[in-house]
Amino acid sequence: MAIGRPGDRLPSVRQLMAELGVSPATVRHAVSDLVRTGRVEAISGSGTFIAIPQERLPPRSDTSWQTLALGADALEHHEARILEPIRSLVPAGVIDLASGYPDESLQPQSLIASAVRESVRRPGVFGRVASEGSEPLRHWFEENIDPERQHRALIMPGGQAALALVFRALCLPGDAVMVESPTYAGALVAIRAAGLVPVPVPTDSDGLRVDQIGAAVAANGCRVLYIQPRFHNPTGASLSAERRTQLIGLAEEHGLIIVEDDWIADLALDGKYVGPLASIDPHGHVVHIRSLTKSIAPGIRVAAIAAVGALATRLYQVRSAEDFFVSPLLQETALRVVTSPRWPGHLRRLRVALQQRKSQLWEQVQRLGGTQMVSGDGQAIPSPLHSVSPLHLWLRVEGLGPDNDLRSAALRQGVSVVTGSDWLPGSSSGKHVRLSNAAATKDEMAEGVDRFGRALQELRTGRA
């Protein structure tokens, strides 16, 4: 094989396997060695490149003036680094136990490919579409909330974009927003980026402690609550039936807007479908967000926000000032996928595969020792079956100091994990970690947990 020049991109793992006749594990080990010794550089999201010797780099320009020109905001936006572990591709040789996106083997690739082929033939698919989205796709989302279609859906390029829009459109800078503790770090980033202040509300194994809402409203004047009532990320809890009804009652009593992030509606492990909060909300308190990026593929960035009344109008106005519409080709593709007769079969296979991976991850983590699956209030959860979240384990790790850097230690061992401190508003506990069973295959997961164990060992003994 020809050796490239500095700056050249390394062939993919698959190409290297084919050319050298070796296993994926051998390629990954070799590449991580090269990265460790500085001979190649892994650039997240771009690939792996032959390192450029320092003396050949052009002199760096001095851009420090930009920090002054941008003002305080330049410092605020470093928050985006919090999303790095779940958004970016891991460098070659690193095992991904951080991302919640199912890997390619779990995506309905042939279904997507036929949907794209059919979509490109549809007249007008490269033209414009209404800002709120294509009518049939909107109807599909609306009917999934209630068959009468009281809600008006707005098609968005993914759930994260939907969260950012909702907080910008419905709150004013300085507003306090109630969030579950812990909660999805991406929502916290969107809340803070909109100039809002997250107010943590406790959770337990039945989800949000709705009995604490009154106190949070009284103390902070909150008008908005962000919640994931089904398969909460990261704890896996779902809001109990009793609390769902109580929450809608409290929203009516206090005039609250509930932002319902129904981020993996399609993935309930046992396939049981408990309707969204929006379906039991007669007076329009719930703004419902649903994304297809986990059940189809992360690159099919299609999600919807659904609301009624003045909330729906406000969302539509703010959205059309920022971005005219999501690509009609993508909308058409998503519609063809979710309405295909092959879609239910894909969801069944996906759920079974995720369940198997989750059980495997749980077994391996137990063998490791020194970690405990916990609910939001720190109670031990005896088995992953008690938490129906299909994608993650939320663990408390014993024996670590408060300022540990578990993520860096794990990366040094070649595994990417999400550490808990960015997911706990109002606390900086370094004791939690979220391990995902979505992005790594069975073999990779086994190796990934071993590497994670070595990282824990390194931190506990203080030896790198």
Ligand X SMILES: Cc1ncc(COP(=O)(O)O)c(C=O)c1O
Residue pair 226/179 in contact by the 8 Å Cβ criterion: yes
Rounded Cα–Cα distance for residues 312 and 319 (Å): 11
- Residue 100's CB is within 10 A of a number of other CB atoms, namely 24
The answer to the question of residue 263 lying near ligand X (CB under 6 A) is yes
Sorted by sequence, the CB contacts under 8 Å of residue 340 that are 6+ apart come out as: 111, 115
Q: How far is the CB of 234 from ligand X (least distance, A)?
A: 8
Q: What x/- string results for residues 164 through 203 when contact with ligand X is judged by CB under 6 A?
A: --------------------x-x-----------------
Per DSSP, what are the bridge partners of residue 416?
96
Bond preceding residue 53 cis, omega within 30 of 0: no
Residues 96-125 that bind ligand X (CB under 6 A): 100
Q: How far is the CB of 104 from ligand X (least distance, A)?
A: 16
Q: Which one of 180, 261, 422, 444 is in contact with ligand X (CB under 6 A)?
A: 261
Q: How far is the CB of 98 from ligand X (least distance, A)?
A: 10
Q: How far is the CB of 295 from ligand X (least distance, A)?
A: 10
Residue pair 159/303 in contact by the 8 Å Cβ criterion: yes
| Coil/strand/helix, residue 399 | coil
The answer to the question of residue 158 lying near ligand X (CB under 6 A) is yes
Which stretch, 290-298, 348-356, 371-379, 455-463, contacts ligand X (CB under 6 A)? Answer: 290-298
The answer to the question of residue 160 lying near ligand X (CB under 6 A) is yes
Residues 199-238 that bind ligand X (CB under 6 A): 228, 233
418-450 per-residue burial string, b: 16 or more CB within 10 A, e: under 16: bbbbbbbbeeeebbbbbbbbbbbbeebbebbbb
Q: How far is the CB of 154 from ligand X (least distance, A)?
A: 14
How far CA 414 is from CA of 16, 36, 43, in Å, comes to: 19, 10, 15
For ligand X, how many residues bind (rule: CB under 6 A)? 15
The secondary structure of 209-249 as a DSSP string is: -GGGHHHHHHHH---EEEE--SS-TTT-----HHHHHHHHH
Helix 213-220 and helix 241-254, axial crossing angle in degrees, nearest 10: 30
The answer to the question of residue 394 lying near ligand X (CB under 6 A) is no
Strands (E), 69-195: 95-96, 152-156, 176-181
Q: Which one of 32, 107, 134, 291 is in contact with ligand X (CB under 6 A)?
A: 291
Q: How far is the CB of 302 from ligand X (least distance, A)?
A: 8
Q: Which one of 48, 181, 238, 293 is in contact with ligand X (CB under 6 A)?
A: 293
Residue pair 397/456 in contact by the 8 Å Cβ criterion: yes
Which CB atom, from 48 or from 291, has the smaller least distance to ligand X? 291
Q: How far is the CB of 86 from ligand X (least distance, A)?
A: 6
Which stretch, 5-13, 125-133, 157-165, 425-433, contacts ligand X (CB under 6 A)? Answer: 157-165
Q: Which one of 85, 102, 159, 236 is in contact with ligand X (CB under 6 A)?
A: 159
Q: Which residues contact ligand X (rule: CB under 6 A)?
A: 86, 100, 158-160, 184, 186, 228, 233, 261, 263, 291, 293, 298, 303
